[in-house]
């Protein structure tokens, strides 16, 4: 299985997530949290906001619409009105790239 290259490791800065639109897959967000990299869906589970338009504070991403928030490493909803966790993806670093395995369709 070929991994999906999302971005170079230097692109996401601590506190500045990167939005990725990987073709047939849902919009993704790539985060740098103190030098560790994480990937989640980029769409808030409460509203249709892109989380990369919100505010990252450490390991928390706040939605720009209603101020709800999520824990980046786990995807857990941490602040109301968000209640449904974000989907997270295991990250692999390959040749200077942040990559993930292709998401499986959930049929």
The number of distinct structural domains making up the chain is 1
Is 32 inside a domain boundary?
yes
Is 107 inside a domain boundary?
no
The CATH number covering residue 20 comes to 2.102.10.10
Supply the pLDDT for residue 1.
Answer: 66
Is 36 inside a domain boundary?
yes
Is 48 inside a domain boundary?
yes
pLDDT tens digits for 4-29? 999 999 999 999 999 999 887 889 99
Cβ neighbours for 49, distance < 8 A, ≥ 6 positions apart: 43, 63, 64, 65
Is 105 inside a domain boundary?
no
pLDDT tens digits for 68-92? 999 999 999 999 999 999 999 999 9
Residues of the domain holding 72: 4-100
């Amino acid at each position: 299985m070929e991994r999906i290259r999302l971005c170079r490791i230097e692109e996401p800065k601590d506190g500045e997530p990167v939005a990725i639109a990987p073709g047939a897959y849902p919009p993704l967000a790539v985060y740098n949290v103190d030098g560790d990299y994480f990937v989640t869906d980029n769409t808030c589970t409460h509203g249709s906001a892109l989380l990369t338009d919100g505010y990252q504070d450490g390991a928390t991403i706040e939605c720009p619409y209603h101020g709800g928030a999520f824990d980046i490493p786990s995807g857990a909803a941490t602040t109301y009105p968000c209640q449904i966790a974000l989907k997270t993806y295991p990250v692999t670093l390959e040749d200077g790239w942040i990559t993930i395995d292709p998401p499986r369709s959930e049929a």
